[in-house]
Chains A and B, each alone.
Chain A
Amino acid sequence: MHSRNPFYILVAVLFIVGIGASIYRGVEHNVPFLPGKQVQSWAVEAKVSFQGTGEPAEVSFSLPQDPAYQVLVENASSPGYGLTINHNDNDRRAVWSIRQALGTQDLYYKVTLVPTGHTEISATQTPAAPEAYLWPATEQAAAEQVIADAWARSASNLSFAQQLMASITEPKRSQNVERLLASQTPTQLFLHMLHTKGIPAHKVSGLYLEDQRRRQPLSPFVEVFHDGQWILFDLIKGKQGRPQNLLLWERAGHSVLDVMGGVNSQVNFAMLQDTRSALATSIDMMMNNNALDFSLYQLPLEEQSLFKGILLIPIGVLMVVFLRVMIGIKTSGTFMPVLIALAFIQTSLLTGLIGFLLIVSCGLVIRSYLSHLNLLLISRISAVIIVVIGIIGVFTLLSYKFGLSEGLTITFFPMIILAWTIERMSILWEEEGPREVMLQGGGSLMVATLAYLAMSASWVQHWVFNFLGIHLVILALVLLMGQYTGYRLLELKRFKSLAGT
């Protein structure tokens, strides 16, 4: 007897690859593990407006580049304007241009964003030390004193920034700070003081996302580099860290909006929260990232829905293998129950069961007449097939006349399979009597019902289509069960008399 190790290695490989591929799908592509899961998305509209002076105008507007939000769809509408989108290292800008702009000009940029959960911003390399800020002579002494105070009370970049923020935002500020704030905003002051000490920091513009808000401005923040991460400071609220629902719109340290050839430029934002299917969202994202290289989502919708049906068959087959090998249920025709179960998916269970019983019992009656005719097997089966089609036609028409729309789904039954079922049942009836017909027919219907229940569960349908790795796991299970030499459940009953010692 040869070693079974290669077999078990194969099974293990199938298991690991199957589960690994499924987890990769779920984690990397954000395909939800449960069906019907919803994600929040934000639709944000930025409106840039300015007064044209009749000169050529060029508007450069920064676009969101935030690891915590992924862009699903974006578009810019701006009649008459040329539009280009520039990508720099960590900066994206939309540039609108027109030869002549006169009067009020409105430019719109719309984006749909999905939270990714990556709220921490890490830097790949330590940024260069910033240039020190040159304090005006009148402020230098005050500034240096504030910096020295904070420096003395801190141990690291982070704690220095915390101390600075405290001294700028605390309600009873020192006179030095008050004097400095006369000419600078708190955010600017904070940034300049950090730069004086050579600490990497830059200004960030953020947008608070709140449902159904209009005419919202951007809020200023400062990002301070500490330990490979950028930490966000809000000098207006005096808070450190990233607030919920904050979208970082501009974090390259450039201006948000530059307008040439216009005056009174301003930008404001409107936003709307939306929920959409997590699955559709992740498919859209994969589409954006060209990650769909080899996937069923590429197929046209019609083929996709075909595959949704086909990919259920392994589940039904697994069920049949389990019920036959582990339980020991007899069925008429090995995989007939799977095909019947597939038909049940179209017809729904109760209609399917009634339809199946109606067709088979009518078929049996007609078949019993055919058996008197002394026909060759091939002709008899063919006759049964035609009769089955006739029965299905009659039932469909009848249910239509009576207004039973459920009856119309009866056409989903596989006719050849039904014909063979009728033929087998009929022989069984003649040879073994009605009891065996009930037994095997009931067994087949039970297996079909169980296969149907497994195949119609919405999470099963979700998994077999969206996590193709699961089919490798099913294959591994089927292979494993093919090696099972233990007792079937019903054998435990059958051999009960041999159990005593």
Chain B
Amino acid sequence: MEFAWPWELRQNGVLNMNQRNIDYIGRYNPRKFYKRVDDKLITKQLALANDIAVPDLIAVVREQHEIAHIPERISSRSGFVVKPAKGSGGKGIIVITKVDNGRYFKPSGHEISLSELNRHVSNILSGLFSLGGKPDVAIIEGLIEFDPVFEGYSHEGVPDIRLIVFKGFPVMGMLRLSTAASDGKANLHQGAVGVGVDIASGKGLHAVQFDRQIEFHPDTGKKLTDIIVPHWESLLHTASSAYEMCEMGYLGTDMVLDQSKGPLLLELNARPGLAIQIANGKGILPRLKHVEAMSSHSMTVAERVAYVKTHFTG
């Protein structure tokens, strides 16, 4: 494996971890607003207050004794998602796509017993998945019926769309597709495919898996750059309005497309990863600097979306 020279990366505007932490997260994300992003329950409530669509909330489990009531809360559902409110990096999320007579099945077909499910929720409440091990609450959400346009592009899991929103401007985006290697999860370091998408049109530009460029989905063989993300305009709007909602300057927004409800905001991330640059095949710094250089703007969401569509294309 070869190493790049630092100036080559600098020249291509590749943002690195240290600079992201000091110059962007440290400078633009006020500490006091972190809980709006780190606590998915608060994010959800804020989103609802701001007319941003989110997956529907089935139940919140706050205490250990409430675990016993989970089966009755989910009895009418055919599938659901359990996640820790303060989890990070997709940790602690269990997706159940099939409920059959008190038996629960993951998308892979693996069965999970009720006691395993209860233990998982108990772990969530103990803070096993939260930052710093603080006590947490578990959220049970409705399953997303994912848009059939992605049929053939994703293995088991739901494809999600990550947009980096800098001071309200969506500057870079990618589509994350789960694979067999990633076990249905959409995390790039676990083997999901990242497809960089054109900010203007939502069309796939460049795709990577395990940090290496690929052309076809490893499981389905579909050509990845053929993807055009539907509802793109609406996704940009949702992401951009998340800035007003949580007041974080440097933000990662994770969204999914639901067949009936359209774009849903899954979660926000105050420390979005750098892999989006690899998926796009280009550095993010020039766009960040572009936005930084703009004199203090008071653009509306629609104006910002229009602005990025003309300036950050390709």
**Residues of A at under 8 Å CB distance from B?**
1, 325, 328, 374, 376-378, 427, 431-432, 483-489, 491-501
B314 contacts A by Cβ under 8 Å: no
A493 / chain B contacts, CB cutoff of 8 Å: 1-4
Q: Determine if B122 and A374 form an interchain contact, defined as CB atoms under 8 angstroms apart.
A: yes
Q: B3 and A492: CB pair below 8 A?
A: yes
Question: What's the least CB distance linking B293 to chain A, in Å?
Answer: 13
Q: Are A376 and B12 closer than 8 Å at their CB atoms?
A: no
Please tell me if the beta carbons of B278 and A486 are within 8 angstroms of each other in the complex: no
- Indicate if B8 sits at the interface (CB-CB under 8 A): yes
Report which of A376, A432, A488 forms a contact with B64, defined as CB distance below 8 A: A376
Report if B119 contacts A (CB, 8 A): yes
| Contact A485 B1, beta carbon cutoff 8 Å | no
A496→B211 CA distance, assembly (Å): 9
List A contacts of B283 (CB < 8 A). Answer: 498
Q: Does B168 contact A (CB under 8 A)?
A: no
* CA–CA, A492 and B19, complex, Å: 14
Q: B9 near A495 (CB under 8 angstroms)? A: yes
Residue-wise, chain B 111-142 has the 8 Å CB interface mask toward A (1 for contact) of 00001001100110011100001000000000
Partner of B12, one of A325, A494, A498: A498
Pick from B18, B91, B119, B278 the residue with the most CB of A within 10 Å. Answer: B18
**Min C-beta distance of A225 to chain B, whole Å:** 66
A485→B9 CA distance, assembly (Å): 13
Flag if B22 contacts A376 (CB, 8 Å).
no
Of the A-B pairs whose beta carbons lie under 8 Å apart in the complex, a sample of 11, sorted by A's number, is A378-B126, A431-B91, A485-B19, A487-B6, A487-B18, A491-B17, A492-B5, A492-B9, A493-B4, A494-B278, A498-B277
- Contact between chains at A325 and B1 (CB < 8 Å): no
B112 CB to nearest chain A CB (Å)? 13
By a CB distance below 8 angstroms, the chain B residues around A431 are 91
Among B5, B123, B211, contact of A499 (Cβ-Cβ < 8 Å): B5
B119 in contact with A328 (CB, 8 Å):
no
Partner pick for B211 among A374, A376, A488, A494, CB 8 A cutoff: A494
B4/A492 in contact, CB under 8 A = yes
Give the Cβ gap from A492 to chain B, nearest Cβ, in Å: 4
- Bound form: Cα–Cα A325–B190 in Å: 23
Residue from the list B27, B123, B190 in contact with A377, Cβ < 8 A: B123
B126 touches A376 (CB 8 A): yes
What is the chain B residue whose CB lies nearest that of A496?
Answer: B4
| Bound form: Cα–Cα A495–B11 in Å | 13
Known: A374-B119, A377-B127, A431-B91. Contact between A497 and B8, CB under 8 A?
no
Whole-angstrom distance from the CB of A483 to the nearest CB of chain B? 7
User: Which residues of B from 13 to 32 have beta carbons under 8 Å from A?
Assistant: 14, 16-19, 22-23, 27
- Contact present for A488 and B278 (CB under 8 Å): no
User: How far, in whole Å, are A117 and B18 apart by their CA atoms in the complex?
Assistant: 51
A-chain residues with CB within 8 Å of residue B91 when the two chains form the complex: 431
Q: Which residues of B contact A497 (CB under 8 A)?
A: 208, 211-213, 278, 281
- Please, which residues of chain A bring their CB within 8 A of the CB of B22? 483, 485
User: Which listed residue (A427, A498, A501) contacts B14, Cβ 8 A?
Assistant: A498
Identify the B interface with A (CB < 8 A).
Answer: 1-6, 8-12, 14, 16-19, 22-23, 27, 64, 91, 115, 118-119, 122-123, 126-128, 133, 190, 208, 211-213, 274, 277-278, 281-283
B22 shortest CB reach to chain A, Å: 5
Per the bound structure, the CA–CA distance linking A1 and B16 in Å amounts to 20
Is B278 touching A427 in the complex (CB atoms < 8 A)? no
Q: Flag if A487 contacts B9 (CB, 8 Å).
A: yes
Of B5, B17, B118, B127, the contact of A488 (CB 8 Å cutoff): B17
Contact check, A374 vs B115: say whether CB atoms are below 8 A apart: yes
Nearest B residue (CB) for A328:
B17
A residues in contact with B64, CB < 8 Å:
376
B129 to chain A, nearest CB (A): 8
With both chains docked as a complex, state the minimum distance between the C-beta of A335 and any C-beta of chain B, in angstroms. Answer: 15
| A-B interface, 6 closest residue pairs, ranked by CB to CB distance from nearest | A377-B126, A499-B4, A485-B19, A499-B8, A492-B3, A374-B119
Could you tell me the distance between the alpha carbons of A334 and B190 in the complex, rounded to whole angstroms? 22
CA distance A441 to B16 in the complex (A): 24
What residues on B are CB-neighbors of A483 within 8 Å? 22
CB distance from A443 to the nearest CB of B (A): 14
Return the chain B residue nearest A380 by Cβ.
Answer: B126
In whole angstroms, what is the CA distance A69 to B4 when docked?
60
Q: Which residues of A contact B4 (CB under 8 A)?
A: 492-493, 495-496, 498-499
Q: What residues of chain A lie closer than 8 Å to B123, measured between beta carbons?
A: 377
Q: Which residues of A contact B9 (CB under 8 A)?
A: 487, 491-492, 495, 498-499
Given A486-B18, A487-B6, A499-B5, 12 more A-B residue pairs with CB atoms under 8 Å apart are A1-B27, A378-B126, A485-B23, A486-B19, A487-B9, A487-B16, A488-B17, A492-B6, A497-B278, A497-B281, A498-B281, A499-B4
Chain B nearest CB: distance from A333 CB in Å?
Answer: 12
By a CB distance below 8 angstroms, the chain B residues around A498 are 4, 9, 12, 14, 277-278, 281-283
Residues of A contacting B278 with CB < 8 Å?
Answer: 494-495, 497-498
- Whole-angstrom distance between the alpha carbons of A486 and B15 in the complex? 9
CA distance A432 to B12 in the complex (A): 32
Complexed CA–CA distance, A432 and B187 (Å):
11
Residues of B within 8 A of A499 (CB): 4-5, 8-9, 12
In the complex, chain A residues whose CB is within 8 Å of the CB of B190: 432
Interchain CA distance A488-B274 in the complex, whole Å: 13
Q: Give complex CA distance A500, B4 in Å.
A: 9
How far does the alpha carbon of A445 sit from the alpha carbon of B307 in the complex, in Å?
Answer: 49
Q: Which of B19, B122, B126 has the most CB of A within 10 A?
A: B126
- Please name the residue on chain A nearest to B116 by beta carbon: A374
Q: Contacts of A491 on B, CB cut-off 8 Å?
A: 9, 16-17
Bound complex: CA of A89 vs CA of B241, how far in Å? 87
A488 touches B128 (CB 8 A): no
Residues of A contacting B8 in the complex (Cβ-Cβ under 8 angstroms): 499-500
